[in-house]
Structure 1
């Protein structure tokens, strides 16, 4: 059935129906999509390294093998840090529980007395919540371990294909199509964004870990690692990064310690997001806050918690794709400032 171009409501209905069906379908295969998305992003990030190895005379297969070893080492170190911190937190839980009871009793003096609300009631609720979160966290670690293995293997195959594709492209450079150049530009811009975001997250994580170590907050390195990953989540990531170390600051130093942790992490994050990131990223990499928030809600619905990590990169993917075609550039402008066509590349500051 052919829809009249002037029938705007009909076109909106068709596109909306397609979007709903696509969303439901992606949600049904969310576990597969998560693995695919992470594999693609990792392959895009490390593809330049594969080409650098090849320029140095290292064969493609060996270069990919070296990158797989590097990824395995990175994820293994992260896993050791997370597991070790989890074990130590569990072993010191009784001490934290005693300190938490003391803090609750101190605050209970300023609360109106009620039969339903007591220190014991609050403690039971908090302990129950902590146990359920710990179980979920450990189950997530076990599941993540298997998923990471699949992601590394999938990324390795993608990197092998990338290395071979580069050779074919160089042999047929004269026959390169317009779509091919757009695809190459899309890949470069996306890699640029992911690399910049990773660099900013790394600086933020190191800054937070150093401040927490200087303040004597328990498990400072672990909170720094968490800050690195949570930095990919816009807006909500800052709160998720701040709450756990602030809670430990409360247990160790009281209200003053918690406030100091919150202020310190907020300052580090503000410097990273408002000074470092804008100086590295070109305006074509920016998204309007409303678009970022809607993307966060959408991908969280489709992919679950991991969707929050992928929300901004996937929104950037959509924006870059829309900017790559004249017919859809107007839609790209609705998502954020247009890319500088004259530069055609990511600003390095």
Structure 2
């Protein structure tokens, strides 16, 4: 019996090592084709997002072409509005920043004088600030927001994938249901992933809209330029778990600093901390984690992993990607379902 127990322990340890190695290899493979894998999963998430609309149409007895066309047009309309708004806003930002060249030089001079009072020489200040001209800030802003526009650059690929998935969605739905008797755990896992993803998107979208509207109104009242852009950025970064608040805070704070000085920048930080930190960092993670079936720790770790694998798009898709991995690797396999409480953060129910 001792030998059997030792053998079982060795077998579990070996499976763990092999599984870990396979995960690393799989993630490396996904990273190698991130330009395809990222848009493909984004298209899948969008198809899942409109699945309640498709189910409603099916329940109403709609024809197959309606089940394909209406959800497809809904997704395309949302993408066009989002990407178009982002492109116009970024163009306005790039056109606006050169007007702050004089203010930027004044700010640098003020910083230099303050550092001189602390005993830092002019040469040291020049070495620290030599590369920080307004042109580099413009390039930084373009690069930062250009990462978001990467979705727009892959727009054709995403549209083609969405079109194909929309055509296949009714057939795929029926095919998965037909597998219920042969692969019940797999069907249950995929169904749970789809429902959890829909819930996650609903929660994130609702909180994102609340935060975006409040941020835009507050910035408009304070006179910060381009409040609609920063509200849109707050909405997008709301899909980034835990640290989206910081990502959405930095650009409007810097612009407020250039436009109106340290007092306005501090006001932006305070307002964002009150509005965003409480909602995004304290309230929303609880609902997001529960809706996706992931604990707070797993949600945070997934952000690091998927940013490394897919870049900026991985930050936005971190939670759905991890929920999909949980569905395939844990929920669908009876031998690994014991790990569900570990990744969900909920104690197992006692029956």
TM-score category, normalised to shorter length:
0.7 to 0.9
CA contact (8 A) 1:212 1:220 kept: yes
Specify the alignment match of 1:333 in structure 2.
341
CA contact (8 A) 1:283 1:339 kept: no
Mapped partners of 1:161, 1:339: distance in 2: 38
The alignment status of 1:145 with 2:152, answered yes or no, reads yes
Aligned pairs (5 A) from 1:140-289 = 140=147, 143-166=150-173, 178-179=184-185, 180-273=187-280, 277=284, 283=290, 285=292, 287-289=294-296
CA contact (8 A) 2:253 2:268 kept: yes
Instruction: State the Cα deviation string for residues 94-139 of structure 1 (Å, max 9, x = none).
Output: 3212112222222322112523245797365243532433554686
Residues 15-24 or 141-150, more deviating: 141-150
Residues 85-94 or 279-288, more deviating: 279-288
CA contact (8 A) 2:286 2:296 kept: no
Specify the alignment match of 2:316 in structure 1.
309
- Call closer, same or farther: CA 1:284–1:168 in 2, change over 3 Å: closer
Stretches of structure 1 that go unaligned for 5 or more consecutive residues are 343-349
1:184 positional shift: 2.1
1:55 positional shift: 3.1
SS at match of 1:99: helix
> 1:36 is matched with which residue: 40, 51, 61?
40
1:217 positional shift: 1.2
Instruction: State the Cα deviation string for residues 201-243 of structure 1 (Å, max 9, x = none).
Output: 2222222112112222111111111111111222321111001
Specify the alignment match of 1:75 in structure 2.
79
Specify the alignment match of 2:299 in structure 1.
292
Residues 9-18 or 226-235, more deviating: 9-18
Specify the alignment match of 1:127 in structure 2.
134
Specify the alignment match of 2:3 in structure 1.
none
CA contact (8 A) 2:241 2:285 kept: no
- Call closer, same or farther: CA 1:143–1:311 in 2, change over 3 Å: closer
- Call closer, same or farther: CA 1:244–1:228 in 2, change over 3 Å: same
Residues 232-241 or 73-82, more deviating: 73-82
1:245 positional shift: 0.7
Stretches of structure 2 that go unaligned for 5 or more consecutive residues are 1-6
Mapped partners of 2:135, 2:115: distance in 1: 23
1:251 positional shift: 2.0
> 1:55 is matched with which residue: 44, 51, 59?
59
State the TM-score, normalizing by the size of structure 1: 0.83
1:311 positional shift: 1.5
Specify the alignment match of 1:98 in structure 2.
102
CA contact (8 A) 1:284 1:339 kept: no
- Call closer, same or farther: CA 1:330–1:142 in 2, change over 3 Å: closer
CA contact (8 A) 1:209 1:220 kept: yes
CA contact (8 A) 1:201 1:231 kept: yes
- Call closer, same or farther: CA 1:285–1:117 in 2, change over 3 Å: same
1:261 positional shift: 0.8
State the TM-score, normalizing by the size of structure 2: 0.82
CA contact (8 A) 2:83 2:149 kept: no
1:313 positional shift: 2.1
Mapped partners of 2:173, 2:341: distance in 1: 31
Residues 321-330 or 64-73, more deviating: 321-330
Specify the alignment match of 1:111 in structure 2.
115
- Call closer, same or farther: CA 1:317–1:271 in 2, change over 3 Å: same
